[in-house]
């Protein structure tokens, strides 16, 4: 009787294992590729690196003229549209060093409509305002793009570009 009981368990175990094999999907190797999520700041230029506390750099008239405050050039293979890049480019800070930190001062910066050429996007700043309580002396203006989800999966890493300036 004990032998019959053990053989019944064996049959039940075999049945359960065979169900498991039928329900396991095949283990074939699949390769998925994720497009790159690179967003680079190629350059950040300013009309002047001598800035006045409480003043504005640029012409402030939205004319996209030679009197603009500065220019930022991006390269990206992320397929972010120009409007999103323009929004990201407004993260401009006044910093005591060339690295972003939470103590940096967010500046009011107005940008014009971006222009594109292939994967390169150029954004001109019409006006950059310098706070009246800014510390005089050496400083940095920096643009920081904080990391965000990539449309193709993964994340766009944070990137920063800085320009040395003097605050008068």
Quote the tokens at residue 119.
């994967």
Whole-structure pTM over 0.75, yes or no?
A: no
Which CATH number among 1.10.1660, 1.20.120, 2.160.20, 2.60.40 corresponds to the domain 39-167? Answer: 2.60.40
User: pLDDT by residue (tens digit) across 107-163?
Assistant: 988 887 788 888 788 888 888 999 999 999 999 999 988 777 777 777 777 889 999
> Are 123 and 110 within 8 A, CB to CB?
no
* Dist. CA 137–CA 96, nearest whole Å: 9
User: pLDDT by residue (tens digit) across 62-92?
Assistant: 555 556 788 888 887 666 777 777 777 778 9
* Dist. CA 45–CA 92, nearest whole Å: 12
Parse the chain into domains and list their residue ranges.
Answer: 39-167
**Cα 42 off chain centre by:** 13
């Amino acid at each position: 009787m004990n032998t019959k009981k053990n053989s019944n368990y064996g049959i039940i175990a075999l049945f359960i294992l065979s169900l498991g094999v039928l329900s396991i999907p095949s283990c074939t190797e699949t390769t998925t590729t994720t497009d790159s999520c690179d967003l680079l700041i190629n350059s950040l230029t300013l009309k002047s690196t001598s800035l006045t506390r409480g003043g504005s750099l640029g012409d402030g008239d939205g004319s996209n003229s030679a009197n603009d405050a500065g220019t930022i050039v991006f390269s990206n293979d992320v397929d972010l549209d120009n409007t999103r890049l323009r929004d990201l480019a407004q993260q401009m800070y006044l910093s005591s060093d060339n690295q972003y930190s939470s103590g940096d001062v967010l500046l009011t910066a107005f940008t014009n409509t971006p222009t594109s050429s292939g994967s390169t996007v150029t954004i001109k700043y019409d006006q950059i305002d310098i706070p009246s309580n800014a510390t005089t002396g050496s400083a940095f203006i920096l643009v920081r793009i904080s990391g965000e989800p990539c449309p193709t999966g993964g994340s766009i890493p944070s990137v920063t570009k800085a320009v040395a300036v003097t605050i008068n």
